[in-house]
Amino acid sequence: MLSAAPANAARVVAGTYLGIGALYAVSVAAALAAAAIPAGYLALLGLVPLALGLRLLFAKEGPDEPPPAAQGVFAIAGINIAAGGDNIGVYTPLFATTAGEAISIYGAVFALLTGALCWAAHRLVTHPALGAPVRRWGPRLVPWVLVALGLWILAGAL
């Protein structure tokens, strides 16, 4: 099981960067096109964590073994995109009124802070005292958190 941990960590980091990168890219593209994305459409991104959470809740695997899809790079990216979909509404107007080199600096800052977040999360999970409870309860709580997050995001569509 220990040999799988680095692979899982790599998938989480890759999925997180992919999701944050997609949010950044969409925001830059929307700013360049000067197109406003209606908030109602962004709220529909709540379907992604809702579907992933429901899939985990109704999966046939045991409670301690999440299904492989929950650990995939694209699933993690989808969760990041869904949870940060409202960021597009914030970043787009900011980028639309910002010089090109400043947008690049924002991207570099996002990348650095994403790395810091991934590092902090990894330290928490591998901490001698805190890691075991997080690893034990995390897989049991994740489906419920995803369902709640999806419903919360969808509430913005109403």
Mean pLDDT of the chain: 79
Q: Are 16 and 114 in contact (CB under 8 A)?
A: yes
Range of the domain at 53: 4-155
Tens of pLDDT, residues 77-121 = 888 888 777 677 668 767 877 778 899 999 999 999 999 989 998
Number of domains in the chain: 1
- Whole-number pLDDT of residue 1: 34
pLDDT at position 52, please? 78
Spell out a b/e string for 52-85, using b for 16 or more CB atoms within 10 Å of the CB, else e.
Answer: bbeebeebeeeeeebeeebbebebbbbbbbbbbb
pTM score of the predicted model:
0.62
Give me the mean pLDDT over the 119-135 stretch: 89
